[in-house]
Amino acid sequence: MEAKNTAFAILCGGKSQRMGQNKAFIRLDGESLLRRLARVGEGFGEQLVSTDHILMAKETGFRMVPDIKKGCGPVGAVYSLLVGMTSGAVLTLPCDMPFFPAALVQEMLNTIPATAKALLLLDRNGRAYPLCAIFRKSCLPIVREHVEADKLKAMPMMDSLGAFRMILPERFSERVLTNLNTPEDLEAFKNIFKKSRLE
């Protein structure tokens, strides 16, 4: 699968309650987490941000895709993206994964089988990251069914899609799957960020 024929979408629908502030706009070294992740999507033919927050769209320069049905969480966001995109597939990432590298995005595009409707990323211990995924347009009927039935958990949707499981390749550190949920996570991230800049 080629990036130029695929959509890249950042999922920004979370309420950031545990963080106490909007995670997308947290800045490190003058750059927001949202903008940091947006750079990973360079080279994709279509660039989207799943939100109804106009400032998030401005921060990325991506096209805003609001939820068609409010209050449906990530499953609703995926549904809205599948409806709103012009591409044949979309690669999704949540806005709070600041270490996610462009090389891993490319690996996901290279790995998804031609026969698979979706791809789901797992760490090397088997933990699933259902928002780090690829969805082909052909997923739309099943995702729509989940939204209409209020079945809003991501993993059951992935099971319904028969998503291909991709284990994080050995050449990537588990750190790339770090996500920021709390102020403590943020402090730990800042420490790692400083250390990496000194190395």
pLDDT at position 199 is 45
Closest Cα to residue 48, out of 23, 75, 66, 27?
A: 66
pLDDT at position 96 is 84
Q: Total structural domains in the chain?
A: 1
Identify the domain containing residue 96 by its residue range: 3-198
> Residue 89 half-sphere exposure, CB side, CA atoms within 13 Å?
22
Share of the chain above pLDDT 90, in %: 67
- pLDDT category at 17 given cuts 50, 70, 90 is very low
Q: Model pTM greater than 0.85? A: yes
Task: Tell me, rounded to whole angstroms, the distance of Cα 184 from its chain centroid.
Answer: 22
> Among 58-62, 122-126, 140-144, 167-171, which stretch is predicted with the lowest mean pLDDT?
58-62
- pLDDT category at 18 given cuts 50, 70, 90 is very low
Q: Which residue has better confidence, 163 or 27?
A: 163
CATH code of the domain covering residue 38: 3.90.550.10
pLDDT at position 29 is 62
What is the C-alpha separation between 188 and 172, in angstroms, rounded? Answer: 19
pLDDT at position 57 is 79
What is the C-alpha separation between 176 and 51, in angstroms, rounded? Answer: 23
Share of the chain above pLDDT 70, in %: 80
Q: Looking at the predicted structure, is the pLDDT value of residue 16 above 60?
A: no
pLDDT, tens digit, for every residue of 37-64? 899 999 999 999 998 888 877 888 899 9
- pLDDT category at 30 given cuts 50, 70, 90 is low
φ, ψ of residue 70 in degrees (nearest 5): -70, 155
What is the C-alpha separation between 135 and 145, in angstroms, rounded? Answer: 15
The order of strands in the sheet holding 46-50 is 63-64, 46-50, 7-11, 89-94, 128-136, 118-122, 164-167
Q: What is the mean pLDDT of the chain?
A: 86
